[in-house]
């Protein structure tokens, strides 16, 4: 019976994972992330892989609980199958925690390397791998936990979100070493880890100092501005694709757009992802109604709509954004690049014929390319749906001359969960990394205007039918991140490989007695 009771290291690992989850929205206890993993790093040495896995499972199980809402409510999946799919994903993501703690302990045992050195390196490298492995799922990258501490995330314009993750793990590992010294100080352990603590404090101070410096530079100010009208139609997902509801949907967006132009002087109107649940490119009465919208006084309209292309007699479906001129003519189309697996396409479909998409709609989508939309001499980069969580896509748009980033999305799938808040938190980093304004139009919210400092200038509540108007600046300021991208994790990956190869050779490095403490 006693074997069924988790041991102390397992409980500490689970506690670390759960505590870390509290640092993300909606609880948003950001400061907790600076010490949440210290219990895991203190107790992981007996069973490092299991400890990391337990912590990761606890973390992702809490942060991603909303996936069950998506799969059961909108995917019409049986609760048991939904739970199975959810647990499989949680276990997969927990492996990244597990490999990190296993590798750090192995390097300590075989090479005598301190966890203060190895944990930040492996953590960031594996977070980077998670962002593109198996199509990529960088949701809840550790650095995003600090989105509400603006001064601490300004360095994202240097190293991206991974730089913040590095500092967070360095802090946790240093605290763990200090605790190990305190607990083992009477057992002849090594001297106090002064060097590690000094480096951690200096880097934290430098990061905070840089943040306050950048915030004081007026990074949000631009000479050229544009007044936007973000239209939040709040269309119920259960009727969104119902043909009998299409006209009512268009009427809702038209009415809100007229109010935004009339009361807020909106120059550019932005509707969410798939705002027109029909093929706009085919024309017809509903498409004609959409074309009339910018003719009511706006300088343009960006809206989401499904589209298609015919190549060699085969249809390629696209999740697109169209830009209309004041005369209602199409100025450009931007297609979604990073598709949602099992939502917009089925990976390895020939080998998985029994699996269908979760989203009821048109068919399997095809990826597009980076194509900014031209408007009055400026370029607008459009990130569709969860493309806002992929740093490289926003960077590519800015590198191609985008003066404004627009994120159109439909977060109705998430219900009244923490997911819309997590989604917005990650999108804020795209503004900081590239020092560019970001406008976010969401079907059910959260719609928001985000300044280059990451500050949310204005936002809407969720599940309310309304519009949001506000002025944004045009133009992106040059940043180290825009120029070099995710250079930090790319440089750290070879270190991980080199260290692991070296551990294959027998080593006489002695294990630090501090690392044996439970």
Beta bridge partners of 304: 321
- Residues 52, 58, 60, 65, Cα dihedral to 10°: 170
Per-residue confidence (pLDDT) for residue 513, from 0 to 100: 42
In the predicted model, is pLDDT for residue 315 greater than 60? yes
Residue burial 42-77, b: 16+ Cβ < 10 Å; e: rest: bbbbbbbbbbbbbbbbbbbbbbbebbbbbbbbbbeb
- What is the spatial distance between Cα 442 and Cα 216, in angstroms, rounded to a whole number? 31
State the pLDDT at residue 252. Answer: 96
Residue 2 pLDDT greater than 60, yes or no: no
- Confidence tier at 205 by pLDDT (50, 70, 90): very high
- CATH 3.60.110.10 in the chain, residue ranges: 225-476
| Residue 510 pLDDT level (bands cut at 50, 70, 90) | very low
Facing residues of 228 across strands? 268, 470
pLDDT of res. 1: 46
- Among 4-18, 358-372, 469-483, name the one with the lowest average pLDDT: 358-372
Average pLDDT, the chain: 91
HSE on the CB side for 4, CA within 13 Å?
1
Q: CA-CA distance, 242 to 262, in Å (whole number)?
A: 30
Range with lowest mean pLDDT among 178-182, 359-363, 449-453: 359-363
d(CA 56, CA 48): 12
Which helix (H) or strand (E) element contains residue 419? Answer: helix 419-434
pLDDT of residue 188: 55
Domain 225-476 classification at class level: alpha beta
How large is the average pLDDT for residues 66-85?
86
For 89, phi then psi, to 5°, come to: -65, -45
Cα-flanking dihedrals φ and ψ of residue 497, to 5°? -65, -45
The catalytic site residues sit at 273, 336, 385
Residue 424, pLDDT > 60, answer yes
Window from 34-38, 131-135, 418-422, 512-516 with minimum mean pLDDT: 512-516
What is the value of pTM for the model shown? Answer: 0.92
Tokens 């004609």 correspond to what residue? 288
């Amino acid at each position: 019976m006693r074997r069924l009771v988790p041991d102390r290291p397992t409980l500490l690992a689970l506690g670390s994972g759960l505590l870390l989850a509290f640092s993300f929205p909606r609880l948003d206890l950001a400061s907790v992330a600076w010490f949440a993993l210290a219990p895991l790093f203190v107790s992981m040495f007996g069973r490092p892989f299991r400890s990391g896995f337990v912590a990761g499972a606890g973390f992702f199980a809490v942060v991603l609980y909303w996936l069950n809402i998506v799969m059961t409510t909108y995917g019409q999946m049986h609760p048991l199958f939904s739970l199975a799919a959810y647990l499989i994903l949680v276990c997969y993501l927990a492996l990244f925690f597990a490999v990190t703690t296993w590798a750090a302990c192995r390097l300590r045992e075989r090479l005598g390397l301190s966890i203060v050195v190895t944990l930040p390196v492996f953590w960031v490298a594996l977070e980077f791998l998670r962002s593109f492995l198996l199509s990529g799922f960088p949701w809840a990258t550790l650095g995003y936990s600090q989105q509400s501490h603006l001064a601490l995330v300004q360095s994202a314009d240097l190293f991206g979100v991974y730089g913040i993750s590095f500092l967070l793990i360095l802090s946790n590992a240093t605290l763990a070493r200090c605790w190990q010294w305190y607990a083992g100080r009477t057992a002849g352990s090594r001297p106090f880890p002064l060097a590690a603590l000094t480096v951690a404090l200096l880097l934290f101070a430098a990061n905070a100092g840089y943040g306050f410096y950048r915030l004081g530079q007026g990074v949000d100010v631009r000479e050229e501005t544009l007044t936007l009208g973000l239209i939040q139609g709040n269309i119920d997902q259960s009727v969104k694709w119902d043909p009998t509801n299409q006209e009512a949907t268009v009427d809702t967006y038209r009415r809100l757009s007229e109010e935004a132009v009339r009361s807020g002087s909106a120059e550019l109107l932005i509707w969410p992802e798939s705002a027109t649940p029909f093929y706009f490119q085919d024309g017809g009465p509903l498409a004609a109604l959409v074309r009339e919208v910018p003719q009511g006084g706006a300088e343009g309209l960006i809206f989401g709509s499904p589209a298609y292309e015919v190549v060699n007699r085969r249809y390629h479906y696209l999740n697109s954004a169209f830009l209309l001129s004041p005369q209602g003519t199409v100025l450009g189309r931007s297609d979604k690049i990073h598709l949602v697996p099992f939502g917009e396409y089925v990976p390895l479909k020939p080998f998985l014929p029994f699996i269908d998409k979760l989203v009821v709609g048109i068919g399997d989508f095809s990826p597009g390319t980076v194509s900014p939309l031209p408007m009055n001499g400026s370029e607008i980069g459009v990130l569709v749906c969860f493309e806002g969580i992929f740093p490289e896509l926003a960077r590519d748009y800015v590198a191609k001359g985008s003066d404004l980033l627009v994120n159109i999305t439909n977060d109705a799938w998430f219900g009244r969960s923490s997911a819309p808040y997590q989604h917005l938190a990650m999108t804020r980093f795209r503004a900081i990394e590239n020092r560019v304004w970001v406008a976010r139009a969401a079907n059910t919210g959260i719609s928001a205007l985000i300044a280059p400092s990451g500050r949310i200038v204005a936002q809407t509540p969720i599940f309310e039918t309304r519009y949001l108007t506000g002025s944004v600046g045009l133009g992106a300021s040059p940043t180290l991140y825009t120029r070099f991208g995710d250079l930090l994790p790319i440089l750290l990956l070879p270190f991980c490989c080199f260290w692991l190869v070296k551990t294959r050779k027998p080593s006489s490095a002695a294990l630090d007695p501090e690392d044996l403490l439970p």
